[in-house]
Structure formats: structure tokens, C-alpha cells
Structure 1
Amino acid sequence: MGFFKCSQLWILFLVVFVRSTEARGTKYGVAFRSLMDENGYKGGATGVLVGNRLAYVEGYGTTLTDHMMEATTVLPASGISKILTALTALKLIQEGKMYPSDKVFGADGALSHLVEKNVVKDNRIFDITVDDLLRHSGGWDADISKIADPVFNEFLVDGNQHIVNISKELKLKKALSQEDIIKFMLTQDLDFTPGTKSSVSNYGYLLLGRVIEQVTNETYAVAVKEDVLVNCGMWHTRLGPHQTEGNLPFKGKKTREINAQLREKHQVIGEYYAYIQPHLVDSGLGWFTNAYDVMRLAQCIDGTADYMLLNATTIDLMLQKPKYAPDATSWFGAGFMVHENGAVWVNDETHAPDVVFLHKNLQRFHLKREYTGDENDPVAWTLLFEGKPSIDAPLKQLSRVMIESETHWPTINSFVDDLYDRLLSMGSSTKVIKLKIEEHRANQFLIALKRVEFNVVWVNAYTHDDGTFITVIAEQDPKASRECVALAGLPLRKLVERKLELEEEGYNITFIQNYKSFSHRDSFVFIGVFHKGAFRNDSHILYGIQHFDRPYKTLLSLYEEKGFKPLVQSLEYNRDDALLTFILEADSGNEKDQKEIYSSEMDLNEARLERAVQKYAKQQSRLIYLDASNHRGRPKFSALFKKSRKTTWLFSLGQTPEQILDTVTEKQKEGYLPSVIVGYSTSKKSTGPKFAIYLEKPTESKRFL
């Protein structure tokens, strides 16, 4: 067994080594690392989109807190934050919820409630439109204004007597807020007439974030997540730092100390805000992301992953040349800088960490709706850094030279690499296993799986240490993935709405799990998985939500006699009440006595579940469903079994995450693949989550949950 385990680990190491070596051996990889070293960056990451594949991704150096930089490490998004804001606004315009010509502060403007008649000094403020905010044409120019950049005013006034101090003018005894900045700026003159020029404005995008909040009646972060992050599968991206790696670099320090540290380490004001006060710079510079997600964003814009965030009309609006620059070869578009050849990119930010994001063929994709380049023709790329370098390198030009120096890009597609804890292959079957996804990122993760043609074959939610997490098993299947919709965190009303909407499109709900959530207002929410044409036309489906256990048992017995078989039996406790959510199916009636074929168990503790598994194994029954709930600090299980003439399977309880991954790695060699993994907590608070796992040798096609 020792040799078997070592050989498996060696194979995994070899696969990772080959993939890593293929990428790191490229001319581009050498150039990227040289750029980092020669210009004094502490750490960074890069990704390159070639066709519809992520052909290159790498992290290099260390983070601000001296942790090893990985390709998955989240870094300040800088100007990409404005792209997320612009795309959210454009999506709202596309949906008819607002218009480019809408006046921001006018009588019916989204921010008219912030205007007091006796406050506004420059009446041109009432002419500012949503389109002006998108294109940095609102009338503010930090380079000539006596206020400089109002978003960073409290830092910029330190040691500079020529800049107006907003806090002093407002006689504040606290740190500036967004509301304070807006209130003050309404009393000031504009630097130019709105719509007559463009100048990068963090303040203009601060306002655009507030417009989005008013239009959607959601917080800015939620609006961006629902309109952009989920649709694009950007499951790492979030407002504010993704994780705290020990002590944050500026925590608890005074402004002068922070300024000195920023100067010493070549860091920037925007980085401080992104880490410590992301709420103040949210829609301008507040997001954190990584190379994987930025390249997913590129696919989302150009449609190379079979999805386009914006339609043709809205993309035209995004790329549109402003009237004030009819002869320009490049200009400020909506969020992006735009070149006349169709390339779009992120502009440099004075007070933010360096980033590069460039898509060089958006117009070609936009017009032809397809990828027309060869396998060595990069479409888009990104470079993400922390802080400013010791040498101010022309990054956009350098990155283009680096890209063009590479003639043979790796043929791998690394978009799948951040989606699994284990990647398992057997014959024509390839499965990914991910044990722990934070619930608030689950829908983005599920979309990211769909974009790389993985069909969800198992999903389960569990709670541990006041957090809710999702476990997923997915199998590569282009057709099934296109015809699958998997959603987590659905309140009951939303579950019913989506079920009815998707049924109109020919989808059937094939899986429901009711679970407790620490991330939603509703403590009980649902996972729903829908597949197109999952059931036969002559099938009869019965759904039930949160039935008490005794009435459910009676109903199940009654419907089994009518030829119904249980497919899903989710168990959740509301205090001492056991609640069952279920799906029952009856087809043309070929299986007359379902009771002898299908068996239902519920309210099982760990010991009783073990005994039930042993009992049904002797009866040649396979596990088709398992769910766990927490009842007074102890796990309770619900299970469904089905008789099978030919089945070989293994089952284990109480495994740690590390043991689960070792198990699936070892048992793959014997021909077993996992089909059920369920997480749960025990009464021992000091321990991590435990898992139950069911593996079987594939003997029959199981396309749907």
C-alpha cells in the first residue's frame, strides 16, 4: 500500500511538474520574471488568453506580507475595478434600467436626493450624465484642481499646503466618508464643462457606484456580483482584500506613518485604501482579483466561452468615440481606453498599484462573433502587481513586446486549474473535486465550471464554525454542461421562480438541497440543479419542500405504492423539527414495486448510517443520495439506496479533507471514482469538518444528479 500511495503522488507531482515546466519555459515567462526583478516589484501575477484557453498563468515573488505569490493570489485590481463598475452600469443600460443620457444630479437623477438647492455652486453639475461618468467626462481633473483627487484628499493634503483640506472645510472630527466627499464637491466649481474632455476621475466613479446602488436598490458590491462576477464565473474577485495574510500592512497606523511606509516600500495610497478602507474607493479602486478571473472577464466580454455579458448594441456604446475627439486614434470609452483598431485596455492609475489588462481584438470578436486567430495568437493578457516599482516602466508597451516575442504558447487550458482539489481521470471520464467553496462564491464557481464544460454531478452544502461551504463533484461533458444550471443560496421564493422560468425553457429540477446559511437573511436556503430534458415525457414528478418527517414518511409510503421512486431526500432541522425536501419520480410504470428497489432512511446518526450502509451492501443496493444536517451539535443523515444487479462501491465516514483527497487519489488506481461527498460537523469544536464519501466503479451512465 505504501508503494501504491507513493506512486500515485509521484504521478500527480509529474503532471503538475510537466504543466508548470511547459509554462515557465516560455519566452514570455522568462520575460515576465525579468520584468519583475529588473523593475523592483515585490510580487505579481500574469495570465494570457490564447483563443478560448488560458494558455499561460503564473505568480512570481512574494506578497506584501512575505507570503509566496501564487497564480491564484488575489491582488489589488486597481483600474480593473473601474471596468467592473462600468460593465455593471452598461448591463443596467442594456436592461433598460437606466440610460446613458440620464442626468445624475438633475431633477429626476439617481443622485438628486443628495442635492440641496442652496449648496450647488456650479450649475453645470446638473448637466452631468451617466455617460459622462462612464467616460471620465464629468468635469473633474485632479491634475489642475485645487482639491486634487478628492477621494485621497486626507493623504494628499499631508505636507501640501496648496491642496484644499476637505475635512477642515467641513470641520470633521472623523475620517472622510463618501457622503462627506460628495457633499463638499457639490459646493465646488467643475474643472471643465461636462462632456468636453476626459480625465481619469476616481470621484466620478465613486458617483457611478452610488448611481448603481440607487438604480438597483442593492449595495454596490451585490450589484456588481449579480451582474458581472456571477455571469463571468469570477469566483476569486471580491471587494476589499480576499484574505488577511497575518497583519495587514497599514492596520492601526496614523496617516503620516502610513505615508512614510508607502514611500519607503514603493507602495501607493490606493493600495492602503483597498486594504483598509475599500468602502471609500469601492467603485474606483476597491476590488481585489487574480489572473484567472481577469482572463475570465476577457472571455465574458468577447464571448469566447459561449457567453457574452453585453450585446452588440451595448458593446458599440462601450467603444463609441466621444464627440469632442472626432479625429482621435484612441480615446476614453466606457471604462476602457479604446483604440481605433478595436483594442481595449486599462489606463494607468497615478495612485494605484500597477496593472495591465489589454484585449487586442475586441472589435474583431464583436463583428465576427468568433475567434479567427491561430493557436499562437494571444487575444488578451493581464499583469497584476502590488505597489509601484522602483523604476516606472512603460508596462503596456513592455507587455506587448513580451507577448509578441512568444511564438509557441502552451497548448494546455489552465482555466480548470483553480477549480479543483483533485483532478481524476479514468477512461473517457474526467472529474474534478472541490471540497470547500465559501457559499457566497458558490454561484461564481459553478459558472466557472460550466465555462470549461464541466457538468455538476454532485453538490452539497455544509456548515462549520459559523460558516457555510459547498462541496462539488463535476464531470467533463460539453453537452450536459451546456444544458445544466446549478444555483446555490436560493431563498424559497427565488427557487420557485427559477424553477418555473427554467421549466418554460425545457429544464427539469433534478436536485434540491435545503440547508442553513450564515450568509443570507433567510436562514434556510436551497441549492437547485436543473438539467434540460432530464426526465422522460411520460414521467410524473412530485416535489416537496420542508415537509415534517412523519407526514413525509406517510406520503412516501403512499406514493411508492403508486410507482413513485425517491431521487432526492434532503434533511434539515429547525430546532427539533426534522424537515424533508424531496423529489419523487414515476415513469411509465415498468417498475411496479418500487418499495423492493428503492429504500429510504432518515434521522440517522453516524453509527446508524454505518449499519445501514452495511445492511444495504448485503442486499446489493447502491447509495444514490446522502445528506447531513446538524441537530444540537451532532450530525444526522438522510440516505437513499437503490438495488443494482451489478455494483462495486466503497463508503467511508469521518474523514478529514486531507484523508478524502488521499482516498480518491489512491482508489482511482483500483477503478473507483467518487460520486457522493458530504461534509458535516461533529460535536468536537476543536476539529475541522468531517466528510462521508461514496466511491464506485463506473458501470452505468449517470448523466444527471
Structure 2
Amino acid sequence: MLTRRDSLRLLAGAVVGAAALPARQAAAAALPARLAVAAGAPPTWTVTGSSSPSLQPFDDLLRSFMEAQSISYASLAVVRQGRLVLARGYNSTSGPVLAQPTSLFRLASVSKPVTATAIMKLVQDGRLSLSAKVAPMLGLSTAADSRLGEVTVLHLLQHLGGWDRSVSFDPMYRWDFAISGQLHVPLPVTQANIMDYTSRYTLDFEPGDRYAYSNYGYMLLGKVVEKVTGLPYATYVQQNVLAPVKITRMAQGRTAQSLRRSSELPYYSEMASATTVLDNSGAQVPMPYGGFNLENMAAHGAWLSSAVDMAKFTTIFDAPGLLTSSSITQVFAPPAIDWDGSYYGMGWSVRPVGGALNTWHDGAYPGTSTLMVRRYDGLSWVVLFNRWNDALQRNYTDDIDYPLHQAADAVTSWPATNLFPAYGL
């Protein structure tokens, strides 16, 4: 029987993964010197949307950061005490389009809190139990490893399911050719193919024993939503999670460049073109548009959103409403494993700060870097970029994270206005 290590040896080469769980440093850190704008003629710079003069530190940071990193499009939304106070699109290019506060970006792994919220809504409504066993619910074979039968919905939410991509592989990223070859199915492979393939290998650890970030686990949560509701995953989320808080622009992303939505920004990557995983043509395509299959990432990385819509999403967790107080507490509760400093709750990374919490999630793949933060003092923000760090094959979270905290701390007067109604929220 093949182990997951055997599978890794069968497909050598780089595997593009989602952003690793970041550590939030409490100590102050100066903005890295590399963020200084290079000497010479500055690129075109255009800012769209609404803000206030007192929030200039955010605009200054985004300009210096984007110009230093050669990022063409970004959007930032800032919430204070439930009110949207800044909604911006930032452009260091003259075209072909301009980022607006309502422009759509791929969210990458910032999709996971959306899926976790859908699961918690089903639990709250009495339609699902956190202790439900996933394998029998989804018809997963446990022949290769009987421990798969013990994986629960809670395990998946908290990344305790037994899959460790650092030990073996992440079936959601660039394993399409291996899956197609072993199962003798054409490209593009389906989620059912991925489940069949992955279930043929042993788990990397006992379910519930430790944390290991798993995109595959969140893909399974999307299938759980479909099994329980009888609806497509995205339909349930749009009707029961997003619509109740007036979020209507969010949609599932599509891989092919020709299928980019009208309000969606283009994605850029300096990585070499990849052989498309969308068909068996062998065609070479830009990495963001066929180097991976976005449609299969529905529940863990395929949502499109604007910054203002995700800023509205953060307010779900500020007070009872869509979720009850008990459900919100469960979302941010620590897992039943040892943790030090921070931990992963249900779709959110969590760090206790005194008697309150900092909660956040980031995301990345070629062409995308995203960060969503809820701070202990009632501040929240969402920043979305249309590229990642190609040289290091990671997102820009580590570079932009603390400077955003510094920008917030530099604000001496916060506006009392609320911009949400201006964006239909």
C-alpha cells in the first residue's frame, strides 16, 4: 500500500501551497527599509474610494508598499467599531483598469473563514454536529487508513484532520497530473477525483493529535455543506451567510483568464508559465490562469470579494446576529491540543490579548495576496493585492501586517461616519 511519502516521491518538484499560518509579533517593528520608494520617476499613482484626512497613514503605507513591491492593484477597507471608515482602491499603474473599493479580487485562503461560518450556521440551526464523522457522510474509503473514519467536522475546521502537506503533499495544488494519471481520468480532475486519490494514502498523523494546515480538509467541509443542504456549496453560502448581511457581490472565482469577471482585477506573476491543468492540451498559460484549478478550491480558496464586502463580513463576529453569541465563542475557542501564544480556531487564527482577542486570516497563491484582521480594540481591516512574492513564493502578509497596525496606531482622530451604506452594505 502506498504511503503519502511514497506519493511525494512519485511527483517530485515544487508544490505551490497556501500561505503558512503567520505569527503576529507584539513588539514594534520599523517598516523595512526595502519599502522605501526607489529613486527615479515614480509610477502612475491613482487612489479611488473614500477616506478621511486623519486616515492618511493608511494611504501613505499602501503607496510606499506597492511601489516598492511593484504591485499594480490593491484595495483596503478599514472598520472601526462596526463602521466602515475607509474604502480604497489603489493603483500604481495607468491601466487597463482601475481598482475600486468594490473591485473583486481572489481571496485565496481568506475563503476559509467564510466556509467555517457556513458550517457554524448549520451547526447552530441543528442540521449538523461538530462531532459528525466525515468519511461516512461523504462516502470516503477508509481501506488505506482506518483512522480516516475518525475524522470529525471539528477536526477539519481546526486543521486537526491528519493531513500534513509538509510531510506528504497538498492534493489541492498542482497534483492534478498525478491524480489524472493514477486514476486514468482526463483533466480537469474533479473534487471527487481528489477525494478518491487522497483516500488511497495513509494519514500523516492521528486525527486530533496536532495542528497541520490543510486545504484539503476545507475542501471536504465544502462537500459537507453540500451533503447536508442539498445545495451547491456557493449557493448555500450566498443565501445563508452573505445575503443576510447584505453582501451580494461575492462569487466563486474561475481559473481561465477568459472567464475573469467584469469587475475582477487581473492577476500578475513573474513565475514561469505552467502547463495548464484545465485540459490535456499541454498548453502553456500564465501561472494564475491555469497553473492550478481554482474551481476545485471552492471552499478553501476560490471566493472573489471586494475589500469592503469582506470588511462587512468581519462584523458578523462583532455581536450576535447571523451567529449567536455561543456560536461566535465556539469559532474562536482554542482547540483541544497544546498551543503557545496563538492557535487556529474555526476558520480563524487567534491570539489572546489580555481579556480580548486578535483574530485574522491570510491567503496566497500566484497572483494573489490577502489579509483580513480583527483587532482586540474594535478595529478591523482587509487588504487585497493582485500578486504575491514571486521570488519567495509566498504572500506579502509578513511585510504588510505590522505596518498596518502601525498605521492604525498613528491615527489620532477617527471619523464618525459609516461608509457601508454607500456600498449597499
- Same fold? TM cut 0.5: yes
Aligned to 1:152: 173
2:182 to 169, 180, 198: 169
Structure 1 contact 234–293 (Cα < 8 Å) conserved: yes
- Residue 223 of structure 1: how far off its partner (Å): 1.1
Aligned to 1:75: 105
* SS at 1:212 equivalent: helix
2:230 to 217, 221, 225: 217
* SS at 1:281 equivalent: helix
Change beyond 3 A, Cα 1:258–1:24: farther
* SS at 1:346 equivalent: strand
Within 5 Å, give how 1:429-578 maps onto structure 2. Answer: 448=425
Separation (CA, whole Å) in 2 of partners of 1:178 and 1:203: 10
Structure 1 contact 62–69 (Cα < 8 Å) conserved: no
1:261 to 276, 286, 290: 286
- Residue 89 of structure 1: how far off its partner (Å): 0.1
Aligned to 1:632: none
- Aligned sequence identity (%): 25
Deviations 1:347-377 (A, max 9, x none): 444667211111112xxxxxxxxxxx6xxxx
Find out whether 1:205 has 2:210 as its counterpart.
Answer: no
Structure 1 contact 64–386 (Cα < 8 Å) conserved: no
2:423 to 414, 418, 424: 418
- Residue 70 of structure 1: how far off its partner (Å): 0.9
Find out whether 1:110 has 2:140 as its counterpart.
Answer: no
Change beyond 3 A, Cα 1:406–1:244: same
- Residue 239 of structure 1: how far off its partner (Å): 1.3
- Residue 294 of structure 1: how far off its partner (Å): 0.9
Structure 2 contact 113–347 (Cα < 8 Å) conserved: yes
Structure 1 contact 42–64 (Cα < 8 Å) conserved: no
Find out whether 1:302 has 2:315 as its counterpart.
Answer: no
Find out whether 1:196 has 2:206 as its counterpart.
Answer: no
Find out whether 1:233 has 2:246 as its counterpart.
Answer: yes
Instruction: Structure 2: give runs of 5+ residues left out of the alignment.
Output: 1-46, 255-259
Within 5 Å, give how 1:319-330 maps onto structure 2. Answer: 319-325=332-338, 327-330=339-342
Structure 1 contact 358–381 (Cα < 8 Å) conserved: yes
Structure 1 contact 64–249 (Cα < 8 Å) conserved: no
* SS at 2:89 equivalent: strand
Change beyond 3 A, Cα 1:64–1:290: farther
- Residue 403 of structure 1: how far off its partner (Å): 1.9
- Residue 340 of structure 1: how far off its partner (Å): 1.8
Aligned to 1:469: none
- Residue 244 of structure 1: how far off its partner (Å): 3.7
Separation (CA, whole Å) in 1 of partners of 2:185 and 2:285: 24
Separation (CA, whole Å) in 2 of partners of 1:339 and 1:347: 14
- Between the two proteins, the alignment pairs up a number of residues equal to 358
Aligned AA for 2:312?
Answer: R
Aligned AA for 2:68?
Answer: E
Find out whether 1:84 has 2:114 as its counterpart.
Answer: yes
Deviating more after overlay: 307-316 vs 89-98? 307-316
Change beyond 3 A, Cα 1:20–1:56: closer
Aligned to 1:127: 150
Aligned AA for 2:380?
Answer: A
Instruction: Structure 1: give runs of 5+ residues left out of the alignment.
Output: 1-16, 158-164, 263-267, 362-372, 420-447, 449-705
Change beyond 3 A, Cα 1:246–1:34: closer
Within 5 Å, give how 1:579-618 maps onto structure 2. Answer: none
Deviations 1:70-101 (A, max 9, x none): 11101111122111110000111111111111
Separation (CA, whole Å) in 1 of partners of 2:48 and 2:204: 56
Deviations 1:165-216 (A, max 9, x none): 2221112233211010101111101111111112221111111100110111
Query: Which has the higher Rg, Structure 1 or Structure 2?
Result: 1
Change beyond 3 A, Cα 1:298–1:184: same
- Residue 313 of structure 1: how far off its partner (Å): 1.8
Aligned to 1:354: 369
Structure 2 contact 147–207 (Cα < 8 Å) conserved: yes
Deviations 1:199-253 (A, max 9, x none): 2211111111001101111110111112210112112111126724699879x99
* SS at 1:49 equivalent: strand
Structure 1 contact 298–380 (Cα < 8 Å) conserved: yes
Aligned AA for 2:245?
Answer: C
Deviations 1:562-615 (A, max 9, x none): xxxxxxxxxxxxxxxxxxxxxxxxxxxxxxxxxxxxxxxxxxxxxxxxxxxxxx
Structure 1 contact 93–99 (Cα < 8 Å) conserved: yes
Higher strand share: 1
Change beyond 3 A, Cα 1:384–1:63: farther
Aligned to 1:567: none
Structure 2 contact 73–91 (Cα < 8 Å) conserved: yes
Aligned to 1:561: none
Deviations 1:104-163 (A, max 9, x none): 11xxx421x343xxx620111001000011111111111110xx21012346x7xxxxxx
Separation (CA, whole Å) in 2 of partners of 1:78 and 1:247: 14
Separation (CA, whole Å) in 1 of partners of 2:388 and 2:317: 28
Aligned to 2:305: 289
- Residue 32 of structure 1: how far off its partner (Å): 1.8
Change beyond 3 A, Cα 1:37–1:389: farther
